Chain A
Amino acid sequence: MPTIAELASPNPGYSYAFLDEFAKRELRRRILKAIAIPGYQVPYASRELPIARGWGTGGLQVTLSLVGPDDVVKVIDQGADDSVNAANLRRFVARMAGVATTTDALNATLIQSRHRIPEERLQEYQTLVLQVPDPEPLRSVEHDISKARLLHAEADYGLLWLRLYEQLVRYRRVTLGASYPCVVNGRYVMSPSPIPRWDVPKLHRAAHLTLLSAGREKRVYAVPPYTDVRPLEFADVPFRVEDQRGWTCRHTGLQHKFMSELPQPGGGTLYEISDTGFVEKVIARSRAAEVSIGATYYDDAGRFYIDGYLR
């Protein structure tokens, strides 16, 4: 018969992966619902974590409720593994769940990210958790959450289309930057979190599961694998990703990956690929190290891997 000591948690101060089992169970149920209704925002209780609210606590709760001892976790912020908050979140997950961590996107089973999707195509064995500051794509046209929920229920996205049209009339183009609204599975409009437009197509019919979680706003939603994700676009005015043609990464010499812009003293600009895990591998390979670099969403000429998706 097992003894009490054996049954007791090895870390009596906190549950495995910090959250207690009730919190995990609640969140897992909400996640299942989110997967069942792609793009629909499922409310959840959202526990306070020992990380400031608004600093990835939504993504972190999802990560903590999914992580197990065999997982390998990668955490990025703006594409960078060594960004200060990403480092802190990774340290927390590793400490509370005792999991291995990695900077290699393809080695990770669980990737928590703020504002980016890696450049290498994610696979079926992977889950991407995106941190969401504001889950409501209708916020700019309807502040009131109760009313916005009604608009979603009725699939009434007229106000959003009108906003896009007004931008066109005024500026000759849609002036939305990051967080570009998209239609998921032909039904719900969702905010893909503040990823650049460059990353939005990566969600379309992706092999991996994407979970989007807003801790402060207490909403979780999902893009299940192989689900249609279409940015809002007019038939005659196609969606456009950021125009970074001609930008060359100062570390790798590559083009056509999402770049960060680095202003230089005295004017001028240098560029570097924002996905630091990818850069790491490209550099290692250039030094003849054995690394496996996966196929990327955009090829070296900037063509997206699904023909005809970007018009």
Chain B
Amino acid sequence: MYVAARGGEGAIQNAERLYRELIGHFDAETVRTIERAMPYLIDRVMGEGSLYAPELAALALAQSGGDLYEAVLMLRAFRSTQPRLAYARVVDAERMLVVRRISAAFKDIPGGQVLGPTLDYSHRVLDLAVLEGEPTTQPRGHEELEKDEPFESLYLRGEKNHLPLVADWQRDAGLLPMLPVHPCQEATEIPDVTREPLLFPAPRAMRLQSLSRADTGGVLALGYANMRGYGAVHPTVNEVRLGYADVEIVHPITGEPFSIGRVRVTHAEVVTAVEAAPAGNDASAGEPAKLQLALGFCATVGWNEVKTIAGAMLDMAMDLPDPHPSHTEEYVLYHTDPVESSGFCIHYKLPHYVTFGSELDVVRSVGAAKKVSGLGDYYGDGSGLAAGMPGVYSERATPPVSEAAGEQV
């Protein structure tokens, strides 16, 4: 037995058809064009969708008419149906093929500052000539670039793009605490925020996973509040690193690690001076407090500098003593998920007439308190209320609720 389409079902089918009309026809070619022409958009959707699949991200964008939250939801919903086939080996940042890496902390760093592809130092001027059919204006430079050569292949020549980490230099110099021994020896032991509930205080892995799939705009808003002055410190960007990382798994039969593909990744680190934890012995009592550097970290799949810098600031802010209420771990992680926040926001469009009716009932009965007192038994009797209560109630003005509001036609 299937209930035939009724009012609601017909309406939702029509609504979807109108939507399809609006965004128009798209095909495999459209999807390929989106993937090729909008790598940063693709990266943002993949990062927030926590699924590295440029083609699917492009399809989601085509299918959602460019509505980012819808595209991310589609990717996540697809992702949640996929089995986990294997665990990748840890990506060593030093083995990344670096395309761009900047440190604001030092003028020069081992391996050098690499500007790579960016609009950072360009004039953001609309290339209006393109609208007249002219080709795009090409800045001069980079003669190695061959026509139609895939961008990625520029960075796959030799070892020159394997660059050491700034933070490692600082650790060797005793400026940063050494990395703790990794608590999860096996990849299968790493808590997975997509398979287990997030509880607080969250394991570090879950915090970083949450930031990695967080809404770019949401992380930016909270991170910006922190940078603008609600944070106690002024962090410095230690390193922003964009590049390609090999996804390596261990061959199930030979046991040899091998690369199953290469993904675009971003990571950002910020540093600031914080008071070192006291040694805790009697000898340290009375000594002046010590300062040391602390690191905030954020990484994501795809190239997304804004999110990772803001995320690294928040990562640091969460660990500082007594953070602003909007920078606690629970606040940040709960409120920056793109699917949850956008979904809940638009859910307010759903009918709420039952809850609203319940609220109106309260508004009316408070407004007409004298009228309801002495009502019958099963609705509850308000008459007992006044007994033993201070006398101010009788003197209170009646709130402005229309007497006619409850009248029946």
Asked whether A28 is an interface residue with its Cβ less than 8 Å from the other chain, the reply is no
Contact with A along B115-139 (1 / 0, CB 8 A): 0000000000000000000000000
Given known contacts A43-B199, A268-B409, A101 and B3 CB-to-CB distance under 8 angstroms? yes
Q: Which among A121-129, A174-182, A285-293 touches the partner chain?
A: A174-182
Q: Are A239 and B408 in contact (CB under 8 A)?
A: no
Within A11-70, which residues are at the interface with B (CB < 8 Å)? Answer: 14-15, 18-20, 22-23, 26, 43-55, 57
Q: Which residues of A contact B81 (CB under 8 A)?
A: 14-15, 18-20
B393 proximal to A (CB < 8 A): yes
Give chain B residues whose Cβ lies under 8 Å from the Cβ of A227.
none
The answer to whether B339 touches A48, judged by C-beta atoms less than 8 angstroms apart, is yes
Known: A46-B197, A238-B381. A268 touches B347 (CB 8 A): no
Contact (Cβ within 8 A) A178 B355: yes
Please determine whether A88 and B12 come into contact, CB atoms closer than 8 angstroms.
yes
Interface size class of A (residues with CB under 8 A): 35 or more
A194 at the binding interface (Cβ < 8 Å) = yes
Question: How far, in angstroms, from A90 to B360 measured CA to CA in the complex?
Answer: 30
Nearest residue in B to A91 (C-beta to C-beta)? Answer: B9
Give the residues in chain B near A116, CB-CB below 8 Å: 354
Judge whether A55 and B350 touch: CB under 8 Å: yes
- As a 0/1 sequence over residues 368 to 401 of chain B, the CB contacts with chain A under 8 angstroms (1 = contact) are 0100100111111110111101000100000000
Which of B83, B357, B385 is close to A260, meaning CB atoms less than 8 Å apart? Answer: B357
For B369, the closest partner residue in chain A by CB is: A172
Which residues does chain A contribute within 8 Å of B365, judged by CB atoms? 173, 243
Distance to closest chain A CB from B363 (angstroms): 8
Digitize A108-119: 1 where CB-to-B-CB distance is under 8 Å, 0 elsewhere: 000000111000
Contact (Cβ within 8 A) A83 B351: yes
Verify B358–A177 contact, CB threshold 8 A: yes
Q: Which residues of B contact A72 (CB under 8 A)?
A: 1
CA gap between A78 and B197 in the complex, in Å: 29
B7 within 8 A of A: yes
Contacts of B91 in A (CB 8 A): none
What 0/1 readout, one digit per residue, does chain A (161-178) give for beta carbons within 8 Å of chain B? 000000011011101111
Bound-state CA distance A197–B12 (Å) is: 30
* Chain B residues, Cβ within 8 Å of A77: 350-351
Determine the chain A residues whose CB is within 8 A of the CB of B77 once the complex forms: 48-51
Q: Is the CB of A53 within 8 A of B353?
A: no
Give min CB distance, A149 to chain B, whole Å: 8
State which of B3, B11, B355, B366 has its C-beta within 8 Å of the C-beta of A102.
Answer: B3
Supposing A47-B80, A177-B362, A194-B355 touch, asked if A87 and B6 sit within 8 A by C-beta, the answer is yes
Which of chain B's residues have a CB closer than 8 A to the CB of A94? 2
Q: Which of A20, A172, A248 contacts B393 (CB 8 A)?
A: A172
A194, B77: Cα distance in complex, Å: 26
Residue pair B369, A55 in contact (C-beta under 8 Å): no
Interface status of B361 (Cβ within 8 A of chain A): yes
In the bound complex, CA of A261 to CA of B384 (Å): 29
A residues less than 8 Å from B354 (CB atoms): 78-79, 115-116, 178, 194-196, 258, 260, 274
Does A140 reach chain B (CB closer than 8 Å)? no
Q: Which residues of B contact A311 (CB under 8 A)?
A: 377, 380-381
- Chain A CB within 8 A of B330 CB: yes
Check if A159 is an interface residue, CB within 8 A of chain B: no
Give chain A residues whose Cβ lies under 8 Å from the Cβ of B196: 45
Is A247's beta carbon under 8 Å from chain B? yes
- A302 an interface residue at 8 Å Cβ cutoff? yes
Determine whether the beta carbon of B366 is less than 8 Å from that of A177: no
Q: Is A236 an interface residue (CB 8 A)?
A: yes
Q: Mark B76-96, 1 if CB is under 8 A from A, else 0.
A: 110111010000000000000
- Residue B111 is within 8 A (CB to CB) of chain A in the complex: no
Is B151 located at the chain interface by the 8 A CB criterion? Answer: no
Nearest neighbor of A239 in chain B, beta-carbon distance: B380
| Nearest-CB residue, chain B, relative to A274 | B354
Using CB atoms, name the residue of chain A closest to B70. A52
Tell yes or no: B198 within 8 A of A by CB: yes
B184 within 8 A of A: no
Contacts of A85 in B (CB 8 A): 350
B1 engages A172 (CB within 8 Å): no
Q: How far is the CA of A237 from the CA of B381 in the complex (A)?
A: 8
- Among B199, B355, B360, B380, point to the contact of A240 (Cβ < 8 A): B380
25 CB contacts below 8 A, A to B, read: A45-B194, A45-B195, A47-B80, A50-B77, A54-B344, A54-B347, A55-B347, A81-B8, A82-B6, A84-B8, A133-B347, A169-B389, A172-B369, A173-B366, A173-B385, A195-B354, A196-B354, A218-B197, A242-B357, A242-B358, A245-B375, A259-B357, A303-B378, A310-B379, A311-B380
Q: Which 3 A-B pairs have the closest CB atoms?
A: A53-B343, A240-B380, A43-B197
Question: Given A145-B330, A172-B385, A198-B358, list of 14 further CB < 8 A pairs?
Answer: A52-B347, A83-B351, A85-B350, A86-B8, A87-B8, A101-B1, A101-B2, A102-B3, A115-B355, A172-B389, A176-B362, A196-B355, A216-B340, A310-B380
Q: Interface on A for B, CB 8 Å cutoff?
A: 14-15, 18-20, 22-23, 26, 43-55, 57, 72, 77-88, 90-91, 94, 100-103, 114-116, 133, 144-146, 168-169, 171-173, 175-179, 194-198, 216, 218, 236-248, 258-261, 264, 267-271, 274, 302-304, 310-311
